[in-house]
Chain A
Amino acid sequence: MRKALKLQNLDCANCAAKMEGDISALEGVNKASISFMTQKLMIDVDGDAQALDTVLDKAQAICAKYEPDCVILR
C-alpha cells in the first residue's frame, strides 16, 4: 500500500535525509522517500491500511528523534 503524507515543521534538510534512511529501513517498508521541498513523505508498505498505521507510528517516532517538532499529518 502506497501513501503520500504531509510532514509539518520539517525544517532541516539533513534531518529529512536521515529520517528517510531510517524509515526505509523499517520492517515492512518497501520504499520511503521524503521530499524536503514539498514536505511530503511517500511511503510504500507491505499489507493493508492497518500495517501502514503501525509503520507510521514508528515513522513518527523516527521523525521526532531528528526533529522534535516534526509531525506526520494523517
Chain B
Amino acid sequence: MALIMTTLTDKQIRWRNRIIVALVLFVIAFAIEKAGLLEAWFDTPSDLYAELVLFLVPYLVAGYDVLLKAARNIGRGQVFDENFLMSVATIGAFALVLFPDTEPHMAEGAAVMLFYQVGELFQSYAVGKSRKSISDMMDIAPEFANIMRDGQLVQVDPYEVSPGDEIVVKPGERIPLDGVVVDGRSQVDTAALTGESIPRGANPGDEVISGCVNLTGALTVRVTKPFEDSTVSRILELVENAADKKARTESFITRFARYYTPAVVGVAAALAILPPLLFGQEWADWILRGLTFLVVSCPCALVISVPLSFFGGIGGASRIGILVKGSNYLEALAHAETVVFDKTGTLTNGTFTVTAIHAEGDTTEDELLALAAHAESLSNHPIAASVRQAYAGPLDPARIQQAEEVSGQGIRAVVDEREVLVGNGRLMDAAGAAWHDYELVGTILHVAVDGVYAGHIVIADQVKDDAAAAIAALRKAGARKTVMLTGDRADVAEAVAASLGIDEVRAELLPQDKVAQVEALLEAQAQANPKGRLAFVGDGINDAPVLTRADIGIAMGAMGSDAAIEAADVVLMDDRPSQIARAISVARKTMAIVWENIVFALGVKLAVLALAAVGIANMWMAVFADVGVAVIAILNAMRAMNVRK
C-alpha cells in the first residue's frame, strides 16, 4: 500500500485524502449509531432523521464529485453513465428512509459510495501504471543527436539532422538516426528493437539502426535517412497506430457494452416497480434490489481490460522484436494453423556457401577451389562470390590471363596458362569433358582443366541454425500444417523440407505462382477449419502481394527494410525463424487473458445480478462486482505485457 501511494499523482493524492477523511467520519457515524446514542438523544422517529444526517456527511465528503458529475452529465444529455448510476443507487438507499417500516439502509448508502471511490482510485492508479509501463516500453525514442557545428559538438533535435550529415554517438547513447559508420569501432546493443541480447559489432562501413544503444566506443555515423523515416520512428508509429485496427473481440465488447447498460437499467426499473405493483410485494425490498442492479450495470471492467490486454500483448511482443500492426492481427495469429514459408531468406540464409568439393584425377581439392576462384574472380554473381569466399586465400591477378563469361553455361578462363572451364554440364559437353552426375543437392559447378574433367564444387543456400527448432516450436504452438514455397528445383526443396520437418513443399515456382499457391492453401485451411488462419512468412522482398493475400503476412529480417515494414501485418525485426512461434505464443497468451477477463467479469456480474434479483446479494457485493472486478481484470490484463526476453 505504502509503495503504491508513493507513485500517485497530485489529483490522486487529494482524492485519497478525501476518501480517508470520509472513512473516518463514516466510522464515527457508524459507532454513534451502533452504540444506540441516537435513540438516547432523540425521540422516535426523529432519531431516524438524525441518522440520515449523520451518514450524509461522510457520503457527501466521499461522493460529492460523483453527484456533481452525474448532474452535469444529465444536463449534457448524457444519462446512464457510471456517475449517474452510482448516484441513483446511493440516493435510493438513503431514500428508503421514506419507508418507515423497513430496515434503513443509510449506512449502506454511504459505505457503497466510499467503497466505489476506493475502487475508482485503484482503477485510476492501475490504468496510470499500465499506461506508464507501456510508454516506458516504447521509450526507445532518442532525444538528441550530437552533430559537429563550427568545430564544436552540439546536441540537436534528431528532426534537424538531414541525410548526409555526420553525427557522433558516444558510448551509452542511443543511436538517433539510421546511418553508416564512417569512423570508430564499437558494439551495439539491439535488444530494444530485436530482443536479441548479444551485441552486434559496428565497424566502419556497417549500417547502424536508430534505437540501438552504442556500448563501447564513440562512433561517427553518416546519416542515411531523415528522422521520420528512421527505423525508430517507424516502429513507434507502427506500434501506436496498432490501436487503429481493433480485434473482433474488442469491437464485440464495445458493441456489447452499448446494449448491456440499458438492458440492466431496464431490468432494474422493472424489478423495482413491477413486483410491488402487480403482486403487492414490499416496495422497499424491491427498490433495493433494483438499486443493486444499477451498481452492477457499468461495463467498465470489460471496456478497460480487453483493449489493455491487446495493447499489453502488442507492447510485450515489440520488446522481443516482434511488431504486430494491430490487435486484429494478434487475434488472427492466435488462430494460425497453416504456416507458409518462402524458403529463401526465411528458412535459409539466402546466401550461397560451398558445401562440398570433389576433385577428380590428379587435381587436389585445394587446387580445384583455387582454380575455380581465380576463374570466377571477375564475376559478380553470388555463386562466384561464394567460391571466392570458400577459397579464402589471396587472389593473384597475375595468374589470370583471360576470363570470359559463356552465357547460361559458366566461365571460360585461362589461369596459370591452362584453360579452365567452370560451369554447368552443358559447358562440359561443349568442351568434351566427361563429367558425371552428383548425389548432393545444391548448385553444381563443374570444373574442367585443358578439356579434362577435374571435379565439381557443390554450392547450396544454407539452412538457418534455428530453422528446424523453429518448425518444431511452431508445431508445439499449435500450427497444424507447415508449407514451403520455393523457386528451387524439387530435389533441393524436398531435401531442405525433409531435414526441417516441413509437411508440404511446392517447388519450382515462379514468383507470380506464389499468390495462387497461397490462395489454394487458404481454401484448404478454410475447409479444414474455418476458424483457423494462414500465416505467410517472407523476407519482405518481392513478396508483397503474397503478404497481403495471406490472413497474416509476416515479414522477417526487417531491420532497416522499409518495404517489409510496409507490406506485412507482423514484422520480425531480426531474421530468426524461431520468432514466429514466439509471436504465436504471445498472441495465444494474450487471447487467453482476454477471455479470462471477459468470462470472469461477466460471470461475477451475472452472478451478482442473479443473486440480487432473488434478494440475496447486497450493495456491497454489487460494488465489488463493479469496481472490484474492474481492478482485478486490469491487473490480469497487465500480465499480457510480461513477455520473456
Inter-subunit contact B243/A38 (CB<8 Å) = yes
Inter-chain CA distance A44–B77, complex, in Å, is 27
B246 at interface, CB cutoff 8 A: yes
Inter-subunit contact A14/B257 (CB<8 Å) = yes
Inter-chain CA distance A16–B77, complex, in Å, is 17
Q: Mark A9-46, 1 if CB is under 8 A from B, else 0.
A: 00111111100110000000001011111111010000
B472 at interface, CB cutoff 8 A: no
B interface residues, how many (CB within 8 angstroms) = 29
Q: Which residues of B contact A12 (CB under 8 A)?
A: 82, 300
Q: Which residues of A contact B254 (CB under 8 A)?
A: 17, 20-21
A68 at interface, CB cutoff 8 A: yes
Q: Which residues of B contact A42 (CB under 8 A)?
A: 241, 243-244
Partner of B243 from the list A17, A31, A40 (CB cut-off 8 Å) is A40
Given that A33-B243, A38-B240, A42-B241 are contacting pairs, would A13 and B78 also be in contact in the complex, using a CB cutoff of 8 Å? no
- Which residues of B does A touch, CB under 8 Å? 69, 72, 76-78, 81-82, 124, 127, 130-131, 134-135, 240-241, 243-244, 246, 254, 257-258, 298-300, 303-304, 307-308, 311
Residue of B nearest to A41 (CB): B243
Inter-subunit contact B240/A36 (CB<8 Å) = no
Given that A12-B300, A35-B307 are contacting pairs, would A17 and B257 also be in contact in the complex, using a CB cutoff of 8 Å? yes
A-B complex: 10 closest residue pairs judged by Cβ atoms: A35-B243, A13-B304, A13-B303, A37-B311, A14-B303, A17-B254, A33-B244, A65-B76, A42-B244, A17-B303
Inter-subunit contact B307/A37 (CB<8 Å) = yes
Inter-subunit contact B78/A35 (CB<8 Å) = no
A35-B240, A38-B134 are known; give 12 further A-B pairs, CB within 8 A: A13-B127, A16-B303, A33-B244, A33-B246, A35-B307, A35-B311, A36-B303, A37-B131, A38-B131, A40-B243, A42-B241, A65-B76
Inter-chain CA distance A39–B131, complex, in Å, is 9
Q: Could you show 13 A-B contacts with beta carbons less than 8 Å apart?
A: A4-B241, A14-B81, A14-B300, A16-B303, A33-B246, A36-B303, A36-B308, A37-B131, A38-B240, A38-B243, A39-B131, A40-B240, A68-B69
B-side interface mostly? helix
Residue of A nearest to B250 (CB): A17
Inter-subunit contact B308/A37 (CB<8 Å) = yes
Inter-chain CA distance A35–B240, complex, in Å, is 9
Residue of A nearest to B305 (CB): A13
Give min CB distance, B78 to chain A, whole Å: 6
Given that A4-B241, A33-B246, A37-B130 are contacting pairs, would A13 and B307 also be in contact in the complex, using a CB cutoff of 8 Å? yes
Inter-subunit contact B240/A4 (CB<8 Å) = yes
- Which residues of A does B touch, CB under 8 Å? 4, 11-17, 20-21, 31, 33-40, 42, 65-66, 68
Inter-chain CA distance A14–B332, complex, in Å, is 25
Inter-chain CA distance A36–B254, complex, in Å, is 13
Give min CB distance, B301 to chain A, whole Å: 9
Given that A37-B130, A65-B77, A68-B72 are contacting pairs, would A14 and B244 also be in contact in the complex, using a CB cutoff of 8 Å? no
Q: Which residues of A contact B258 (CB under 8 A)?
A: 21
Inter-subunit contact A65/B82 (CB<8 Å) = no
Residue of B nearest to A42 (CB): B244
Inter-subunit contact B78/A65 (CB<8 Å) = yes
Give min CB distance, A62 to chain B, whole Å: 10
Residue of A nearest to B300 (CB): A14
Give min CB distance, B327 to chain A, whole Å: 10
Inter-chain CA distance A4–B240, complex, in Å, is 9
Q: Which of A4, A35, A37, A65 has the most CB of B within 10 A?
A: A37
Inter-subunit contact A66/B78 (CB<8 Å) = yes
Inter-chain CA distance A31–B69, complex, in Å, is 30
Given that A17-B254, A42-B244 are contacting pairs, would A37 and B134 also be in contact in the complex, using a CB cutoff of 8 Å? yes
Give min CB distance, B512 to chain A, whole Å: 32
Q: Which of B82, B124, B240, B243 has the most CB of A within 10 A?
A: B243
Inter-subunit contact A11/B124 (CB<8 Å) = yes
Inter-subunit contact B304/A36 (CB<8 Å) = yes
Q: Which residues of A contact B257 (CB under 8 A)?
A: 14, 17
Inter-chain CA distance A68–B299, complex, in Å, is 20
Partner of A37 from the list B72, B81, B243, B299 (CB cut-off 8 Å) is B243
Inter-chain CA distance A65–B69, complex, in Å, is 11
Q: Which residues of B contact A16 (CB under 8 A)?
A: 303
Given that A37-B308, A65-B76 are contacting pairs, would A14 and B298 also be in contact in the complex, using a CB cutoff of 8 Å? yes
Inter-chain CA distance A12–B124, complex, in Å, is 9
Inter-chain CA distance A61–B173, complex, in Å, is 43
Partner of A15 from the list B72, B81, B127, B134 (CB cut-off 8 Å) is B81
Q: Which residues of B contact A15 (CB under 8 A)?
A: 81
Inter-subunit contact A36/B124 (CB<8 Å) = no
Q: Which residues of A contact B76 (CB under 8 A)?
A: 65
Give min CB distance, A13 to chain B, whole Å: 4
Q: Which residues of A contact B134 (CB under 8 A)?
A: 37-38
Q: Which residues of B contact A17 (CB under 8 A)?
A: 254, 257, 303
